[in-house]
Amino acid sequence: MSEAISISTTDKRSKYEELFSQLASLIGSETDTIANMANLCAALKDTFNFFWIGFYIVKGDQLVLGPFQGPIACTRISFGKGVCGTAWKNGETLVVPDVNAFPGHIACSSLSKSEIVVPVFCEGKVVAVLDVDSDQQAFFDEIDAQYLEKIVGLLKF
């Protein structure tokens, strides 16, 4: 296994393409889901310098904080609450350009301005969500949604 992710391109789509093939080989060579979640967060944070990136894992009727990169964060989120709980409930990726305009947004950091939450599925059920926060408004778009969905699809549960 290589020791580092190496990205040579500058536009977002190409960066995701390069990252995806390296993550596929990294994750394909390890069976532990938490280890893979941790490396996935580190690789994405390194590549895009996101303010915060992390997983919340479904445990009963709550999401519980899993592997992440960035400042400390809320540890538990209830079903249907906040952006994460809503993405879990709806089973759909949510792109939030302005977190202050999202009813019920849970502010783990006042520096977070926009957010994307991508559900992770196993056998048709949401088993986790990937949450990415930016300190800039409207930072995420359809390209992020498309590739983050593809990347979390590499995880095995």
What residue ranges bind ligand SME (CB under 6 A)?
A: 52, 73-74, 77, 82-84, 105-106, 108, 112, 115, 131, 133
Min. distance of Cβ 142 from ligand SME in angstroms?
20
What are the φ/ψ torsions at residue 133 (nearest 5 degrees)?
A: -115, 145
Q: Minimum distance between the CB of residue 26 and ligand SME, rounded to whole angstroms?
A: 24
Please identify, using beta-carbon distances, which residue of 106 and 154 lies nearer to ligand SME. Answer: 106
Nearest residue (CB) to ligand SME, 73 versus 127: 73
Query: Cα(55)–Cα(64) distance, rounded to whole angstroms?
Result: 8
The distance of closest approach from Cβ of residue 96 to ligand SME in the complex, given in angstroms and rounded to an integer, is: 8
- Residue nearest to ligand SME as judged by C-beta position: 82
Shortest Å, Cβ 36 to ligand SME = 20
Which CB sits closer to ligand SME, 23 or 99? 99
Least gap, CB of 18 to ligand SME (angstroms): 26
Rank residues 23 and 66 by Cβ distance to ligand SME and give the closer one. 66
Closer residue to ligand SME (CB): 26 or 148: 148
CA distances 116 to 32, 86, 140, Å, are 25, 12, 7
- Structure tokens belonging to residue 38: 């941790």
Residues 6+ apart with CB under 8 A from 86: 80, 94, 104, 117
Residue identified by tokens 């969905």 is 149
List the strands of the sheet with 76-78, edge to edge.
76-78, 62-69, 52-59, 125-134, 114-122, 94-96
